Chain A
Amino acid sequence: MSIHPAPDDLLTSVQVAHFVAHGSLRLDAVVPDELNARAVAVLREGIPATPYATPLAEAFEPGSFAHRLVNLPKVAGAIYSLVGPHPTVDHHAVHVREANEGTAQHLHGDAIIDVRPDAFDVQLMYYPQDVTPAMGGTLSVPGSHLRRTNESDTGRYQNLRGQTRLTCPAGTVVLLHHGIWHAGRRNDSDTERFMFKIRFNPTVRQRLLWNTDDLHASAVSAELNTTFDWYEDATARLEIYNRVRLWQAMTGDETFDPDYLVTRVTNRPRRIVAQRNLNPHARDTSKENA
């Protein structure tokens, strides 16, 4: 992880814009079958815990399953693109949804309310098995990550239009902004479902860490302008506003504002134009050219 990923392994600007809009990014079947095949046994046994904020480079034994996972070129490139070099591992955990367990988690955000406007943690969720609809794949709510709510106070919300009920092929990795609303769904199948989660803390400013060759592509603006079916009409505009502010922080470009939402409401002109007869200091020029 200390080596800079190859440009082709970094995320593109469009992918990072997708992350900023959705609060998540999927990398389908990015983990090879050979690793997936041994994952369930490894996860069932457990991954040794690490103290909070252990440098990623020290968190997992070289050659171990977890070490190989985070060093897969595409995974390492995606982590680097979002949190930069030398992130720390906040914590990690193996999550198991038991077969036919009968309950779902309440919708929640992890940890506590976290409203940092220019920094974010990233949670990696790795699914070693094919996840079918009946297996209760993680529910997540696209575009919910910038809502200011605390942990499971959203537990009242059972379903939101346009929600994502994850189904995926084995070896899929999903990267999530720390604020995303999510929940483990009820597993109605006869198969235990495993997921391995790692939360990363950045140790550098999260600015232009990805492959920026396409930074000014129109597809970037299109991604950032995405709205979701569960957004209320008026609040949807505030979501775009907050997303633009985050993109400005991540690029250092305060002129980025395709729909003029930020610029309009931060426009505070200082130039004063008053009638001359209201200015007691104005020189009387009316007779100078007479």
Chain B
Amino acid sequence: MTVRQHVLVLYLASSGLDARVVGWSSYDGTGRTDPTTGDGDVPPYETGVDALRDGWRMVQASQLVPPYPGHEYDTSFLKHEFWFEKLAES
């Protein structure tokens, strides 16, 4: 038996883990699935907390970083990124 990591990345509408999912990615170390760009329009969970309730372990959350002076109105990457993992047998 070999254990592999299955990773889920959720992008949320605010810094709260109970906020709405606005984007998602996943990477499957077991090789059973092959998620990729633009492969679905329906998010796997409605909120980050919903992922916790389904057994995902959160391993990282974005820090809250103030805008650089002079760039307060700039938009760039998604700000509220949460990483989750599940361990699965491959």
Report whether over half of chain B's contact residues are helix, strand or loop; otherwise say mixed: loop
Most B CB within 10 A of own CB, among A149, A154, A235, A242 = A235
State whether A238 and B73 are in contact (beta carbons under 8 Å apart), knowing that A163-B38, A163-B41, A232-B79 are contacts in the complex: yes
7 A-B pairs with CB atoms under 8 Å apart are A104-B39, A157-B78, A158-B25, A159-B41, A232-B14, A232-B79, A234-B14
- In the complex, what distance in Å separates the CA atom of A107 from the CA atom of B11? 15
Look across to chain A and name the residue whose beta carbon is closest to the beta carbon of B25: A158
Q: Which of A186, A231, A233, A265 contacts B39 (CB 8 A)?
A: A186
Determine if A107 and B14 form an interchain contact, defined as CB atoms under 8 angstroms apart: no
Smallest CB separation, A264 vs chain B (Å): 12
Tell me the bound Cα distance from A231 to B19 in angstroms: 12
- The interface residues of chain A lying within 8 Å CB-to-CB of B19 are 233
Please classify the interface of chain A as helix (H, G, I), strand (E, B), loop, or mixed, using the class held by over half of its residues.
loop
- Contact partner, B38, options A146, A159, A233, A235, Cβ 8 Å: A159
Mask of A150-183 contacts with B, CB within 8 angstroms, 1/0: 0001111111110101000000000000000001
A106 surroundings in chain B (CB, below 8 A): 37
- Contact surface of B with A, Cβ cutoff 8 Å: 9, 11-14, 19, 21-26, 35-41, 43, 73-80
Do B22 and A185 touch (CB < 8 A)? Answer: no
Closest to A265 in B: B73
Asked whether, in the complex, the Cβ of B22 is within 8 Å of the Cβ of A232, the reply is yes
Q: How far is the CB of A30 from chain B (nearest CB, A)?
A: 24
Chain A positions within 8 Å of B, measured between CB atoms, are 103-107, 136, 139, 146-149, 153-161, 163, 165, 183, 185-186, 229-235, 238-239, 241-242, 265
Of B26, B38, B39, B80, most A-chain CB atoms within 10 Å = B38
With A165-B38, A235-B79 known, 17 other A-B pairs at CB within 8 A are A106-B37, A147-B75, A149-B76, A159-B37, A161-B21, A163-B41, A165-B41, A185-B37, A185-B39, A186-B39, A230-B22, A232-B22, A232-B79, A234-B14, A241-B73, A242-B73, A265-B73
Chain B residues contacting A104 (CB-CB under 8 Å) are 36-39
What CA separation (Å) do A155 and B22 show in the bound complex?
A: 16
Which of A149, A153, A154, A230 has the most B CB atoms < 10 Å from its CB? A230
- The answer, among A159, A185, A239, for a CB contact under 8 Å with B43, is A159
Q: State whether B22 touches A158 (Cβ < 8 A).
A: no
Residue numbers in A under 8 Å from B41 (CB-CB):
159, 161, 163, 165
B12: A residues at CB distance < 8 A: 232
The CB with the most chain A CB atoms within 10 A, among B12, B35, B78, is that of B78
Task: Specify the chain B residue showing the minimal Cβ separation from A150.
Answer: B76
Chain B residues whose CB sits within 8 angstroms of the CB of A146 once the complex forms: 75
Closest to A232 in B: B13
Distance, CA A252 to CA B90, complexed state (A):
61
| Residue of A107, A149, A183, A233 with most chain B CB atoms under a 10 A cut-off | A233
Shortest Cβ distance from A228 into chain B, in angstroms? 9
